[in-house]
Amino acid sequence: MRKQSRFISIIAIIFFALILSACSSQPPAQPVEPAKIVSGDVMLRDSQGIAQLGSRWQEGKQKVDKGQSMQRQGQTEIDQGQILIDEGQKIMRESEEGYKNIKQ
pLDDT at 5 over 90: no
pLDDT at 54 over 60: yes
| Residue 24 covered by a domain | no
| Residue 81 covered by a domain | yes
- Structural domains of the chain, count: 1
| Residue 83 covered by a domain | yes
pLDDT 10s digits, 84-95? 999 999 999 999
Q: Phi and psi at residue 3, in whole multiples of 5°?
A: -65, -40
Instruction: Quote the CA–CA distance of 37 and 102 in Å, as a whole number.
Output: 97
**pLDDT number for residue 1:** 59
| Residue 1 covered by a domain | no
Q: 54, exposed or middle or buried, with CB in 10 Å at 0-12, 13-18, 19+?
A: exposed
User: Could you tell me which residue, 3 or 93, shows the higher pLDDT?
Assistant: 93
41, 46, 52, 55: CA torsion to nearest 10: -120
Pick left, alpha or beta for residue 60 (phi over 0 → left; psi -120 to 50 → alpha; otherwise beta). alpha
Average pLDDT in the 2-10 region? 72
User: Could you tell me which residue, 40 or 76, shows the higher pLDDT?
Assistant: 76
Mean pLDDT of the chain: 84
| Residue 96 covered by a domain | yes
| Residue 3 covered by a domain | no
Give the residue numbers spanning the domain of 97.
62-104
